[in-house]
Structure 1
C-alpha cells in the first residue's frame, strides 16, 4: 500500500517567493521606491549619526544663539543655547528609530503569540479577544502616556509603553490571519495526520503569518515615532540634554516667533520619517496581502 504524503505548507520556500513579489512591487511602484529610498536614508543617518553630525548633540555655543539657517558653521541655525539644530535633528532621528524599533519588536513578541493562540484555540479566543477589545476601547496615545507616566521618563520606558500600547493591534491582525490559515488544506491535512496543535502553529501557521506581521510592523513604526515625539514633548520620553525631535519641538515653542525654523525643521523630519514608512508599508501591503496575491 502506497503511503500518501501529507500536504505541506506553502511557506516552505514561500517566504522567498513573497520576498521576490515584494521586490517586484517596490520596483514597479514609484511611491514604494520613494518610501524604500527614504527609509534607507533615514536608517543610514541614524547609524552614522556621530560621523554625520557636525557637533555633539549636547554641545552648546553660548556666543551664537538663534543663528539663522545657512549661517557659516550652522547649516540649519542654532537654538536658544546655541546648539546646532542639524546635529540635534540627526541624533533625534537616531533616538526616534531606536524607540520605534524597540516598540515594534515588543509588539511583535507579545502580540504574535497571543494572536496565534486566540486564532487557533476557540476557548482562548473568547477570553483573549474580549480583553483585547477592552484595551482597544482606549485611545492608543492615552495608553502610551499612562504607561510612560507610571514607568518614568526614559527612552527605554517610552519604547516599552509604546510597544505595549501597540500589542492589541498586532494581536488582532495575527488572530485574523490565523483564522484564515487554519482552514487551509495543508492545515487540515496536518490535522488528519494527527499533528499536534503546536506543530501546526509553528510549522504551518506562523510562517504564513510572517508577511502580515512585516506589513503591520511598517504601519506601527511611524505611529511609534509620533508617539515618541509626543511623549518627549510632554516630558515623559527622552530627557534633556539628549536630543529628541519631540524635545526640540517642546523647546522651540517658547521662542516660536523669534526662531520659527527651530520648530519647523524637527517637524519636517518627523513628517519625512513617517511618510517614508507609510509609503513603504502601503506598497508591502499591496504586495503581500493574501487577498490580492496570486
Structure 2
C-alpha cells in the first residue's frame, strides 16, 4: 500500500497518545453515566445493596454460620425464633435454621452462577454466529427449537439417572435450559449492531469476520449479555429450589433452600418458621438480582445517555 493512501494518512493524522486519551475519556464517561443512572434509581440502589449482602453471605457462609448446617441437637427440636443460641429457631432434628439458610444461600448462588456461565459460554457464541451469518441462522434456530422442547425437569431427571442428583447436575440442567434464551438475545443484538455504520465501514475496509465479530460487534453487545445474566440467575435459583424440593438437586446432608422447604412441609403448622425463612431467603435473592438487573438495563440503555 502506498504511503500516501487515504488509510495511511488517516492513521497518521491521529497520534497514538491522542487516541488512547480519547478512548480513556470515553470509558470514564461511560462509567460516570452508568453511576449517575444507578444513583437516580432508588430501587436499583436497593437491589445493589441486597445483591452485595447476598454475595457476601454466599462467600462467607462458613464463617457466618453459628453451627454446621448438618449438626443435630435432639434435645432442642422446634425451637422458636429468638431462642438463645438459635436466632431463627430449629427444625425437627434441632438443626439451626439460620446456619442452613446461610449455606443454602451459598448453594443457590453457586447454581445460579454456574448455570449462567454455561448459558453464556455456549449460547453467546452460537447467537453471535447466527446473527452474523444468515446461512447459519437457520441451523441454530432449529437447534434452539429442539432445546426448547426439553424442559429443565426432563434434563435434570436424565442427568440424575445417569450421574446421580447433585448441585453440579442441577446447574448443568438449568444452564442448558437457559441456552436458547441467551442465543436469541445475542442473535437479536448481533442483527442490530451489524447494520450500524462502524461495522459497515469495517466491512468496506475488508476487515475479516473474526475482527468484526470480536472487535466491533461483541464489545457492543456485552451489556445485553450482562443484563440477560441477571435475568437468568433468579430463574436458576428458583429452579434449583424446585429440583432440590423434588429430590433431583442437592442431596442431604447438603444444605439447600429447596430441601429445607421440602422438610418443613411435614410440620408446617407446628413450626411455620422452618418454611417461612427459607422462602424469604429465596425471595430476597431473586429480588436482589431482579432489581439490580432492571436498573442495569435502564442504565445501559443508549437512550439514557441523552438524559
TM range (shorter): over 0.9
- Is 1:3 aligned to residue 14 of structure 2? no
**1:195 paired residue number:** 207
- Compute the displacement of 1:134 (Å): 3.5
Aligned length: 289
* Paired position in structure 2 for 1:238: 250
Q: Which of these two proteins has the greater Rg computed from alpha carbons?
A: 2
CA distance in 2, matches of 1:67, 1:39: 30
Among 149, 155, 173, which residue is 2:160 paired with? 149
1:35 Cα deviation after fit: 0.2
Give the structure 2 partner of residue 256 of structure 1: 268
Give the match for residue 46 of structure 1: 58
* Partners of 2:189 and 2:268 in 1: CA distance: 47
| 1:56 correspondence with 2:59 | no
Q: Hey, what's the Cα distance between the residues in 2 that align with 1:82 and 1:276?
A: 30
Give the drift of 1:255.
Answer: 0.7
**Does residue 279 of structure 1 match 2:291?**
yes
Q: Are the equivalent residues in 1 in contact too, given 2:116–2:232 (CA < 8 A)?
A: yes
1:132-143 equivalences under 5 Å are 132-137=144-149, 139=151, 141-143=152-154
- Match for residue 183 of structure 1? 195
31, 35, 42: which is aligned to 2:43?
A: 31
- Cα distance in structure 2, aligned partners of 1:115 and 1:292: 26
Alignment counterpart, residue 158 of structure 1, candidates 170, 193, 202: 170
- Per the normalisation by structure 1, the TM-score is 0.93
TM-fit CA distance, 1:118: 0.3
Counterpart CA distance in 2 for 1:20 and 1:217 is: 22
Alignment correspondent of 2:14: none
- For residues 261 and 97 of structure 1, the distance between their equivalents in structure 2, rounded to whole angstroms, comes to 22
8 A Cα contact 2:78 2:271, kept in partner? yes
- The correspondence for 1:91, drawn from 78, 99, 103, is 103
Q: Is the 8 A contact 1:253 1:263 kept in 2?
A: yes
Aligned to 2:15: none
TM-aligned CA deviation for residue 209 of structure 1: 1.1
1:121 equivalent among 126, 133, 136: 133
**CA 1:149 to 1:289, structure 2 compared with 1: closer, same or farther past 3 Å?**
farther
Shift of 1:271: 0.4
Q: Give the Å deviation of 1:293.
A: 4.7
Residues in 2 aligned to 1:18 and 1:176: alpha-carbon distance in whole angstroms: 23
Q: Is the 8 A contact 1:147 1:161 kept in 2?
A: no
Query: Deviations 1:227-265 (Å, cap 9, x if unpaired)?
Result: 110111011111101110000000000111111110000
Structure 1 unaligned blocks of 5 or more: none
* Match in the other structure for 1:211: 223
Unaligned runs of 5+ in 2: 12-18
TM-score by length of 2: 0.89
**CA RMSD for the aligned pairs?**
1.9
Deviations 1:253-294 (A, max 9, x none): 011111111000000000011011000010111111346554
Give the Cα–Cα distance (whole angstroms) in 2 for the partners of residues 108 and 20 of structure 1.
27
Distance, in Å, in 2 between the alignment partners of 1:134 and 1:82 is 46
